[in-house]
Structure 1
Amino acid sequence: MSAHQELIKTFYTAFQNLDYETMKACYHPDAYFRDEAFELNGIEPGAMWHMLCERADGMTIDFSVTEKNGQVTAHWEPKYNFSQTGRFVHNIIDAEFEFKDGKIIKHIDRFNFWRWSRQALGLPGLLLGWTPLLRKKVSQMAMGNLKAFMAKNY
């Protein structure tokens, strides 16, 4: 297993254990993270994982890490109760990584937002989860939650 694969395995194992300090330590200081709700830089990705670990409600995570032609990817499936609604979510996520100085410099998570929104939000997600309007609203709420969390904890 390459050092990069080992780093990603460490990252997701830490997430399974809600160990946000180890997760944060996996990122380069100039890291970039993007998914369907967040676009983050610097210390923000680590702060996001910190927030998510503290809010995890009965979460479990299964993951696998692969490397092909030097490109490390992960497939991970968190199962949790969404904190805003209490609804059960089983998300299916594919992640791509780039590295610098032995740390994650770029992390992109991709998942089906409509599938997620149907689970997390119920009827509004079913009816509007495919629209840019709901995606933007969820992103704004997520970023607002992160900014408030960072103001309190960082």
Structure 2
Amino acid sequence: MAHPNDELIQRFYAAFARHDGDEMAGCYAPGARFSDPVFTDLRDEEPGAMWRMLTGRAEDLEVKLAEHEAGDERGSAHWLADYTFSTGRKVHNDIRAEFRFEHGLIAEHRDS
């Protein structure tokens, strides 16, 4: 049986694949923090707002969760995204995510 935090990672990326920013936002704890090379320090409601914005604009976004694991406090994921940028350029992202959990929700999320 999968750890509940591993199931949370799966739920998060399944919502991402469906372009469901509301479901993604619901995976974050109050006061959560997110960072990646573009959004370097999002806090509180900002991570959820970012996912809502990105999934709301998505037209041909395809997301695949390649690997994931989690325990009581920490977890990780390897995910892939393919989409067409506004200029028409095809983009492929290969991303590693690190998570810290609190009370069954994502407290910190770092993509690189």
TM-score by length of 1: 0.67
Q: Aligned residue for 1:103? A: 105
Which one of the candidate residues 37, 42, 58 is aligned to 2:44? 42
CA displacement at 1:57 relative to structure 2: 2.3
* Paired AA for residue 45 in structure 1: P
Q: Aligned residue for 2:84? A: 81
Q: Aligned residue for 1:65? A: 68
Equivalent residue pairs, number:
109
Cα deviation code 1:87-110 (max 9, x no counterpart): 110000000000111110000000
Q: 2:16 matched to 1:15?
A: yes
The answer to which structure has the higher strand fraction is 2
Q: Which runs of 5+ in 1 are unaligned?
A: 111-154
Q: CA RMSD in A?
A: 1.5
Q: Aligned residue for 2:96? A: 94
Q: SS of the residue aligned with 2:33?
A: strand
Cα deviation code 1:66-100 (max 9, x no counterpart): 237963100000000123x2311000000000011
* Paired AA for residue 53 in structure 1: T
With CA pairs under 8 Å and 6+ residues apart, which has the higher RCO, 1 or 2?
2
* CA distance in 1: counterparts of 2:69 and 2:59, whole angstroms: 28
TM-score by length of 2: 0.91
Structure number, greater radius of gyration: 1
Identity of aligned residues (%): 44
Q: Aligned residue for 1:131? A: none
* CA distance in 2: counterparts of 1:26 and 1:19, whole angstroms: 12
> Are residues 97 and 88 of structure 1, via their aligned partners in 2, closer, same or farther at CA, if it must alter by over 3 Å?
same
> Are residues 80 and 10 of structure 1, via their aligned partners in 2, closer, same or farther at CA, if it must alter by over 3 Å?
same
* CA distance in 1: counterparts of 2:88 and 2:59, whole angstroms: 9
